[in-house]
Structure 1
Amino acid sequence: MTTQIQSTVPVLASLNLGESVAFYTDRLGFTKISQYDDYAIVARDGAEIHFWLCADRNIAENTSCYIRVADTQRLFDEFLANGVPVKEPAVRPWGMKELYVIDPHGNLLKFGEYAR
């Protein structure tokens, strides 16, 4: 018998944990779970994102994570209202409707749903 994988959790680079937590809570609707000197955790709708303190912006700028969502258009509207610089969701050749957000340190967040 094998053990079932329950979830995956991205761990993103942060140049400043306070800035990361503020962006994800104030702009993207996450809740701060915990924050330490070199690590932080935010959550929304049962999904978590973790951050580790990193001094190299190049690492964050070359990192991304994919987040499955139910409605990219509603997220777009929410993020836009919260001042996030974001473009309309678009259907990609691989059959997903996606919305992209780049956080203050360069991490790319891809929010996606199956295109209908």
Structure 2
Amino acid sequence: MRKKLALLAVATAAVTVVTVATSASADTRIIKGAYVYYDPARNMFGIGDTEADGRTAYVEVVVAGVSKTFGNHNGNGTWRDVYANETGIRDGISLSWRAKVGGGQTSTWVHEPA
């Protein structure tokens, strides 16, 4: 009985950690070849390349009317983090973003309020 309770406690803790870790993300966009998310707590984007297709995964960010595109040029299965100092994101400013794949799909826009 103790082993079952200990296993249940570990499983519950793991679910709690996963829930807390994923709730910080404002939104995620997944398209063929790219996985992009925004973490508002860190003012950071994560860009994952998910296909061995020779195409680059990108995030296009619009801040204060200025559009910038950041790519993950490291290939399939890799990640790149893009931080606020690169994008121009500051507290109190609205932004829009979307995932893109070079020569491929583009996701819908995500609008983050200030």
Instruction: Identify whether the pair has TM-score above 0.5, normalized to the shorter chain.
Output: no
Q: Please give the TM-score of this superposition, normalised by the length of structure 2.
A: 0.31
Q: Please give the TM-score of this superposition, normalised by the length of structure 1.
A: 0.31
Q: Say which structure, 1 or 2, has more relative contact order (CA 8 Å, 6+ apart).
A: 1
